Amino acid sequence: MFSTTPVPRGRPRAFDIDEALDRAVLVFWSKGFEGASLDDLTEAMGISRPSLYRAFGSKEDLFYKALERYTEGLTSYFARALAEPTSGAVATAVLHGTVEAATTPGLPAGCLGVLGALATGDESRPVRDALIAWREEGIAHLTRRFQQAVDAGDLPPSTDPHLLALYLRTVANGIAVQAASGSSRPELLQVANLALGSWPKL
Amino acid sequence: MFSTTPVPRGRPRAFDIDEALDRAVLVFWSKGFEGASLDDLTEAMGISRPSLYRAFGSKEDLFYKALERYTEGLTSYFARALAEPTSGAVATAVLHGTVEAATTPGLPAGCLGVLGALATGDESRPVRDALIAWREEGIAHLTRRFQQAVDAGDLPPSTDPHLLALYLRTVANGIAVQAASGSSRPELLQVANLALGSWPKL
DNA sequence: CCCCTTCGATACCGATCGGTACGGATGTGC
DNA sequence: GCACATCCGTACCGATCGGTATCGAAGGGG
């Protein structure tokens, strides 16, 4: 295993690439992939257009990298939620985390994974599909976690783990949309708790 | 009260304006406001660009008229749901209607009111805000209906009608997103029924 | 010190965006 | 049948889209 970034050659980059990526996340988050123009992006990132292309490849590549960074950063609550001891605690942590992430002051309302590219023109279809896959992956993680809960006797044997996972993801999607529509954190917390009321009890 | 369309003068329109509007609904529904180009629209509507502008004003005006037609047509289940005798029947009719409308074969998956313009650039902000208002109006209707149910003793006196309305709208939003992601009608019906499981019982 | 590589900035590319000027066609009212 | 109003289609508008050629600047390796 050799180093992946062997030796820096030539003139060093004058901006922090991760910080620029963070700024890009905010732009895509609030305007969506199609709504975010290169002028929007370069202005927010504080770099010129060619710098963006050298560092990130294309607008589409930049979006994928932004989504990756968003996943590892602002939605890391999701990975932590999966580690909760019981299925009920997992569900609660997921929905509460969703509400908090979707209504954090100073950040765009909602969720990049939902708002980024829901309905698009033909050109942006790959981005749309990538977000579908992103959400699908969350469902897959939850499904495995709830199957494990069934196996461990933490959920009734008759439980359909996939249905529970899809249910959670659906409510989370709805919370993201409502947050983007201006619903407040306390309101959405109540909604989340109401949704958790139908969680199967042993 | 005089006629609002007094007498047709000049060369008559060569296309059916409502049929053209129906086609426009489909384009906006599947591609969103920003993703739908004028070429997409004119091709689907079977009319030329100036004909579109003379008949509908602008792309933005066309969207508003398409949304209106969508509301009166494909989401008319909503108005019928409000007329159900009990709050539980209202909730069931709303969510089942949402699932069916969002997964009708031959029509785009999801809901125009959610997919049309969720995150947009600055130019399309009025459209985004109009859809927020559209969803908000649904919440307001539901809130009034559930307040009425509380007054009639159909819901516990401690019930928060607005919370129930927001909850329903949130689940409906989520269903629309999941439908647009490819979830099937049977899957989403199960999700809807699960969501109805936490409905307050007398 | 010089070379080489990568950087940043300006200025530009063709394509597409939403929107419209114009002229010929087609209908009604007089 | 003539005038007028509205339609349709072509061809076009400036602006913006995503993306890039080019060139001087800035750093490390020999």
With CB atoms and an 8 Å threshold, state whether B177 touches A170: yes
Mean pLDDT of B140-153: 97
Label each residue of A18-60 as H, E or C: HHHHHHHHHHHHHHHHHHCCHHHHHHHHCCCHHHHHHHHCCHH
Domain containing A129 equals 75-196
Q: Which residues in chain A are closer than 8 Å to B184, comparing Cβ atoms?
A: none
- The CATH number assigned to the domain holding A37 equals 1.10.10.60
Domains: count for chain A = 2
A11 pLDDT band, cuts 50/70/90, is confident
pLDDT of residue A14: 85
pLDDT of B72 above 90: yes
pLDDT of A21 above 50: yes
B10 pLDDT band, cuts 50/70/90, is confident
pLDDT of residue A168: 98
Does the residue A48 lie in any domain? yes
Looking at residue B85, what DSSP letter applies? S
Does the residue B11 lie in any domain? no
Does the residue B185 lie in any domain? yes
Q: What's the rounded Cα separation, in Å, for the pair B14 and B6?
A: 19
Same domain, B109 and B130: yes
The answer to whether B65 touches B21, Cβ cutoff 8 Å, is yes
pLDDT of residue A198: 86
Reduced DSSP (H G I as helix, E B as strand, rest coil) percent helix, strand, coil of chain B, to 5:
70, 0, 30
Residue with tokens 């299925």: A87
pLDDT of residue A7: 65
Does the residue B138 lie in any domain? yes
Q: CB of B58 under 7 A from strand C?
A: yes
Cβ of A33: how many Cβ atoms within 10 Å?
28
Same domain, A104 and A190: yes
- The CATH number assigned to the domain holding A140 equals 1.10.357.10
pLDDT of residue A10: 76
Mean pLDDT of B170-175: 98
The answer to whether A202 touches A159, Cβ cutoff 8 Å, is no
Packing angle of the helix pair A125-151, A59-72 (nearest 10 deg): 20
User: What totals of helices (H) and strands (E) does chain A contain, helices first?
Assistant: 10, 0
Mean pLDDT of A47-68: 96
% of chain B residues with pLDDT over 90: 92
Model confidence pLDDT, tens digit, residues A121-131: 999 999 999 99
Q: Which long-range contacts (CB under 8 A, 24 or more apart) does B20-25 make?
A: B20/B45, B20/B46, B20/B47, B20/B52, B20/B55, B21/B56, B21/B62, B21/B65, B21/B66, B21/B69, B22/B69, B22/B73, B24/B56, B24/B62, B24/B63, B24/B65, B24/B66, B25/B66, B25/B69, B25/B70, B25/B74, B25/B112
Does the residue A5 lie in any domain? no
Same domain, A179 and A89: yes
Residue where one domain finishes, among candidates A56, A71, A86: A71
Å: B98 CA to C9 C1': 52
Q: What's the rounded Cα separation, in Å, for the pair A48 and A141?
A: 39
Mean pLDDT of A6-25: 86
Same domain, A58 and A91: no
Q: CB of A122 under 7 A from strand C?
A: no
Distance from CA of B164 to the nearest CA of A (A): 8
Q: What's the rounded Cα separation, in Å, for the pair A71 and A63?
A: 12
pTM of the model as a whole: 0.94
Mean pLDDT of B116-131: 97
Q: CB of A89 under 7 A from strand D?
A: no
With CB atoms and an 8 Å threshold, state whether B173 touches A173: yes
With CB atoms and an 8 Å threshold, state whether B166 touches A183: yes
Does the residue B29 lie in any domain? yes
Same domain, A141 and A191: yes
Does the residue B179 lie in any domain? yes
Model confidence pLDDT, tens digit, residues A144-172: 999 999 999 999 999 999 999 999 999 99
Mean pLDDT of A180-201: 96
The answer to whether A75 touches A113, Cβ cutoff 8 Å, is yes
B7 pLDDT band, cuts 50/70/90, is low
Same domain, A146 and A125: yes
Residue where one domain finishes, among candidates B34, B55, B71: B71
With CB atoms and an 8 Å threshold, state whether A195 touches B191: no
Does the residue B106 lie in any domain? yes
Same domain, B33 and B132: no
pLDDT of B14 above 90: no
Residue where one domain finishes, among candidates A39, A71, A103: A71
Q: CB of A8 under 7 A from strand D?
A: yes
Nucleotides of C under 7 A from a protein CB: 4-11, 16-22, 24-29
B115 closest CA partner among B189, B49, B30, B11: B30
Mean pLDDT of A74-100: 97
Q: What's the rounded Cα separation, in Å, for the pair A112 and A97?
A: 14
% of chain A residues with pLDDT over 70: 96
Mean pLDDT of A15-26: 95
Same domain, B121 and B152: yes
Same domain, B191 and B139: yes
Q: What's the rounded Cα separation, in Å, for the pair A155 and A115?
A: 32
With CB atoms and an 8 Å threshold, state whether A119 touches B115: yes
Same domain, A163 and A188: yes
Same domain, B97 and B167: yes
Task: Give the CA distances from residue A4 to residues A1, A7, A8, A181, B157, in Å, rounded to whole numbers and listed in that order.
Answer: 9, 9, 11, 43, 65
pLDDT of residue A4: 45
Å: A96 CA to D27 C1': 48
What lies within 8 Å, CB to CB, of B23 at 6+ separation is B44, B45, B46
Same domain, A54 and A99: no
Å: A20 CA to C9 C1': 18
pLDDT of A179 above 70: yes
